[in-house]
Amino acid sequence: MMRDGSAFKPAAVSSGTDAGRVRPAGGAPAAPIPDGCNLGTLLRVTLGVNVAALIVTLAATSETGQFGPTFLSAAAVLEPVILLTLLAWCLLRRVLVGLPLTRNISAVRALTWLVPALIAYPILRLLLGPGGSPAGAAWAGTIVALAGGVAVQHYLELRARAFSPTVAEAKLQALQSRIRPHFLFNSLNAVLAVVQSDPARAERMLENLAELFRAVMGDVRQLVSLEHELDLCRRYVEIEQTRLGERLQVNWEIAPVHPRARVPQLLLQPIIENAVRYGAERVAGRCEIEVKVRQRGFALEIGVTNPIAREPVQREGNQIGLNNIRGRLALIYDLEARLETRVRRGRFELTMTLPVEHKAS
Q: What tens digit of pLDDT does each residue of 28-86 get?
A: 344 588 888 888 888 888 898 888 888 888 887 777 677 778 888 888 888 899 999 99
Residue 32 contacts by C-beta under 8 Å, 6 or more apart in sequence?
105, 108, 109, 112, 153, 157
DSSP state of 345: T
pLDDT at residue 290 in the model = 93
Task: Compute CA distances 329 → 28, 282, 356, whole Å.
Answer: 20, 28, 13
Q: Say whether pLDDT at 25 is over 50.
A: no
Least confident of 168-172, 220-224, 256-260, 347-351: 168-172
The mean pLDDT of the chain is: 76
pTM of the model: 0.61
Least confident of 69-78, 226-235, 347-356: 69-78
CA–CA separation, 360 vs 218, rounded Å?
19
CA–CA separation, 266 vs 322, rounded Å?
14
Cβ atoms of 337 and 352 closer than 8 Å: yes
Residue 36 backbone phi and psi in degrees, to 5: -65, -15
pLDDT at residue 4 in the model = 45
pLDDT at residue 171 in the model = 56
Q: Say whether pLDDT at 183 is over 70.
A: no
DSSP run (H or E) holding 295: strand 287-296
Q: Say whether pLDDT at 5 is over 50.
A: no
Q: What percent of the chain clears pLDDT 90, i.e. is strictly above it?
A: 11
Q: Say whether pLDDT at 169 is over 50.
A: yes
CA–CA separation, 355 vs 299, rounded Å?
5
Higher pLDDT, 130 or 159: 159
Provide the pLDDT confidence category of residue 186 given band limits of 50, 70 and 90. low
pLDDT at residue 17 in the model = 35
**Strand order in 248-254's β-sheet?**
248-254, 287-296, 299-307, 347-355, 338-344
Catalogue the long-range contacts made by 64-70 (C-beta closer than 8 Å, 24 or more residues apart).
Answer: none
User: Hey, which residues does 304 pair with through a beta bridge?
Assistant: 291, 350
Least confident of 18-22, 40-44, 71-75, 198-202: 18-22
Mean pLDDT of 286-299: 90
Least confident of 136-140, 144-148, 311-315: 311-315
CA–CA separation, 297 vs 293, rounded Å?
13
Mean pLDDT of 7-26: 38
Domains with residue ranges and CATH for the chain? 31-162 (no CATH), 168-355 (3.30.565.10)
Pinpoint the alpha helices (H) of the chain. 39-60, 64-95, 105-128, 132-162, 165-176, 184-194, 199-216, 226-244, 269-275, 322-333
Higher pLDDT, 340 or 321: 340
pLDDT at residue 303 in the model = 94
Cβ atoms of 244 and 281 closer than 8 Å: yes
CA–CA separation, 23 vs 227, rounded Å?
23
Mean pLDDT of 104-120: 87
CA–CA separation, 211 vs 285, rounded Å?
30
Higher pLDDT, 20 or 21: 21
Cβ atoms of 42 and 36 closer than 8 Å: yes
pLDDT at residue 38 in the model = 82
pLDDT at residue 189 in the model = 73
Cβ atoms of 120 and 149 closer than 8 Å: no
pLDDT at residue 295 in the model = 93
